[in-house]
Structure 1
Amino acid sequence: MEGPPLASLSLTHVHYNPDDPISYICAWLALVPQGLCVAYATLIWSTREVEILLMFAGQLACEALNWGLKRYIKEERPSQMNGKGYGMPSSHAQFVTFFSMSLTFFLLFRHVPNPGSSSSSSSFSHGPASPSSASSFAERALLSLLALVSAAAVAASRIYLNYHTPKQVIVGCLAGVFCAIFWFLFTSYLRQAGWIDWALDLQWAKMARMRDLIVNEDLVDAGWDKWQTKRRRKLKLRDDWTGKSL
């Protein structure tokens, strides 16, 4: 007996021209939003940082807005496109634009690294001092530029693969920018008004071990001072034991 016709999981099913290397690259770029969702979940679970959780919440709200706009505008995709669903605005363009803009706002306006805040680095003088490698503003600006360029590549790939018209991609980018600006201002208000501190004092937040360190903790040195202190302590104990043995 013949079974029912098989369906394609459109979440990862991407049409591209196998004879075109650029089309192949664009097909991989189409998977960036899914990869970012995995990164969000991994970072939230591993770091328990409230800033990452807030950014992911904004990302989901941005996606909800895209879902509503598509069903309100009801503009079809390009005629040569084999996919389903409405095309205005581009969800891929809106997703990556929100992410890149939110990351840029965080790195340039909210993130204030303070590598000197850790007192543990001076607890032991044995061994070389931990180098000060706080990410400079120029480095954070370069990372922001890289995120924006990557978002532009993903957005352009939707046009190249004929999944969206240029207008649909541009509107998606504009919607992503709007959502990122609104969410940054909203979360800034939550911080200034003390709502973030209030939420972190709730029992569920304590049980989940949520924290708010990444705003001031240097992205390069996160955990480095703690590791160096532990390493110096271990070396000091080994040298003390060696001296006693001699």
Structure 2
Amino acid sequence: MDNPPLASLSLTHVHYNPADRVSYLCAWLALVPQGLCVVYATLIWSNREIEIMLMFTGQMACEALNWCLKRYIKEERPREMHGKGYGMPSSHAQFVTFFSITLSLFLLFRHVPHPTETHTPFSFGQRFLLSVVALASAAAVAFSRIYLSYHTPKQVLVGCAAGAIFAVLWFGMTTLVRRAGWIEWVLDTQLARLFRVRDLVVQEDLVDSGWARWVERRQKTKALRVQAKKSR
């Protein structure tokens, strides 16, 4: 065939009602999981934090669980849905629920930032507020799947439940791994040293990473300039 029929890349292909502003917003919310994967990859590459790697590993394991559940339950999507694949449980709902709950558990129970001369970290109340925002955002994404008729309310609720349960189990398992000293063992391996893997985010905000050294370097540079001017 000289001109074979074109296919649609379903990864970002979202149906919505162009006359409905809420539907348009929901179509953008449907892209949140893909956006979070980009965020994961960017943070892992730029910061090499093992905590982010653990979270991303759990995220992918949660996706694998969703893939298995869909093919075991084999429940169809709503009739209004134009796409393909099974609908039970909602992968979007499971994805964002795992992310938001894992992030909340980290911020509230594992993240103990220490203040420095150049940075004042978030207080517990601020971290709690950030957790509420993350959970509310996840709820908005889950709602969008129902509004766009990609899933039934039952499929979304089951997806949220699966994501929440897996998030709690994963957080508990990584806590045991940390207490057993396995994280320290991994960080001492030659491979971890080769890729500059570190474990600072538990006690240091990401925004403070390297900031103290940068401020100290600038202060030294300014001091040298002042001395140079005085010596002229």
**TM-score, normalization by structure 2:** 0.97
CA distance in 2, matches of 1:74, 1:193: 39
Aligned amino acid, residue 180 of structure 1? A
- 1:115 alignment partner, SS class: coil
Deviations 1:33-88 (A, max 9, x none): 00000000000000000000000000000000000000000000001110100000
Q: Gaps spanning 5+ residues in structure 1: where? A: 122-129
Specify the alignment match of 1:97 in structure 2: 97
Measured after TM superposition, the shift of residue 2 of structure 1 is 4.9
2:186 matched to 1:221? no
Q: Is this contact kept in 2: 1:97–1:148, CA < 8 A?
A: yes
2:198 matched to 1:211? yes
Q: Gaps spanning 5+ residues in structure 2: where? A: none
> 1:134-173 maps to which residues of 2 (within 5 A)?
134-173=121-160
> 1:57-136 maps to which residues of 2 (within 5 A)?
57-116=57-116, 130=118, 132-136=119-123
**TM-score, normalization by structure 1:** 0.92
CA distance in 2, matches of 1:25, 1:168: 21
CA distance in 2, matches of 1:145, 1:181: 17
Measured after TM superposition, the shift of residue 226 of structure 1 is 1.5
Runs of 4 or more above 4 Å deviation: none
Deviations 1:3-47 (A, max 9, x none): 222111110000000000000000000000000000000000000
CA distance in 1, matches of 2:208, 2:45: 20
Identity of aligned residues (%): 67
2:228 matched to 1:244? no
Aligned amino acid, residue 94 of structure 1? Q
Aligned amino acid, residue 214 of structure 1? V
Specify the alignment match of 2:55 in structure 1: 55
Specify the alignment match of 2:33 in structure 1: 33
CA distance in 1, matches of 2:183, 2:204: 17
CA distance in 2, matches of 1:220, 1:113: 11
Aligned amino acid, residue 70 of structure 1? K
CA distance in 1, matches of 2:145, 2:2: 37
Measured after TM superposition, the shift of residue 203 of structure 1 is 1.0
CA distance in 2, matches of 1:219, 1:204: 23
CA distance in 2, matches of 1:25, 1:15: 12
* Structure of higher RCO (CA pairs closer than 8 Å, 6+ residues apart): 1
* RMSD between superposed Cα atoms in Å: 1.1
Specify the alignment match of 2:184 in structure 1: 197
Aligned amino acid, residue 231 of structure 2? K
Corresponding pairs, count: 232
Aligned amino acid, residue 105 of structure 1? L
